[in-house]
Amino acid sequence: MLASPLLQLPAVVHGFGTRHDDMAALWPEYWPRRPVQHERHGTRIAVATRAGEDCGEADGMLTDRPGLLLAIATADCVPILLARRDGREVAALHAGWRGAHGGIVEAFADLVRARGGDPAEWVAAIGPAAHPCCYEVGQEVIDGFVGRWGLDPHLVAPRLADGLRHLDLPAIVLHQLRRVGVHAVAGRTECTMCHTRADGRFTFHSYRRDRETRTPVVDVHWSAIAIAIETA
């Protein structure tokens, strides 16, 4: 289980899982009662209010209720964990290239403002994801980000030695977070497609690397955040 120093707030628990982590064992007080979402690479963000809640089709959750673990499943997409600086609200977003292009970060900021808050009051951590070292895409994906978001083409797809088109999705997400006012952002640098442990085994599941052999829905790793359960 990987963590981010930026989210080490007294009232918040969080972590970025690997393919080898047993989430139920790591989060025994939280995992069985977590709300669930059904990810669709969209931009809907649900507000979770009770244990075991089915939040429907969504790619993000936000809560102000202690003990509700917001868990995001990814296998190359970018997991984003967010917390208000006072620890009174947390959120988790699933940002694949479709969700990032569609504006899930903007949707988060809009939701915060609709609830009377300010995105500048939040801090964020970007978890392990496919990095440009491995993430090849078509030119239409690059053009889509440049056209819709006005991004520098070299930010979207840095030029690498092989001459292929490589997407830098973590850099895009970082830019979008700062654009909406979330300036305190930390990032994990592990690439889910190529990062290995000391024993040579892959650290993470990867949709792109293992698409021919993986089991859908099952071969994912989890990223999670919650307002801590108060203890006496």
- The structural domains of the chain, with segments of one domain joined by +, span 5-129+182-227
Residue 47 pLDDT: 98
Question: Which tokens hold the place of 50?
Answer: 């009770």
166 within 8 A of 137, measured Cβ to Cβ: yes
Cα–Cα distances (Å) from 163 to 106, 133, 141, 232, in that order, read 32, 12, 16, 59
Number of other residues whose CB lies within 10 A of the CB of residue 113: 13
Q: How far apart are CA 218 and CA 228, in angstroms?
A: 27
What letter represents residue 11's amino acid? A
63 within 8 A of 89, measured Cβ to Cβ: yes
Helix-, strand-, coil-residue percentages of the chain, each rounded to 5: 25, 25, 50
Q: Where are the alpha helices (DSSP H) in the chain?
A: 23-26, 97-102, 104-114, 139-149, 153-156, 169-179
Report which of 46, 58, 7, 161 is spatially closest to residue 15, judged by C-alpha positions.
Answer: 7
Q: Can you identify the CATH homologous superfamily of domain 5-129+182-227?
A: CNF1/YfiH-like putative cysteine hydrolases (3.60.140.10)
pLDDT tens digits, the chain, 232 residues: what are they? 899 989 999 999 999 999 999 999 999 999 999 999 999 999 999 999 999 999 999 999 999 999 999 999 999 999 999 999 999 999 999 999 999 999 999 999 999 999 999 999 999 999 999 999 999 998 899 999 999 999 998 889 887 767 778 899 999 999 999 999 999 999 999 999 999 999 999 999 999 999 888 887 789 999 999 999 975 4
Residue 161 pLDDT: 66
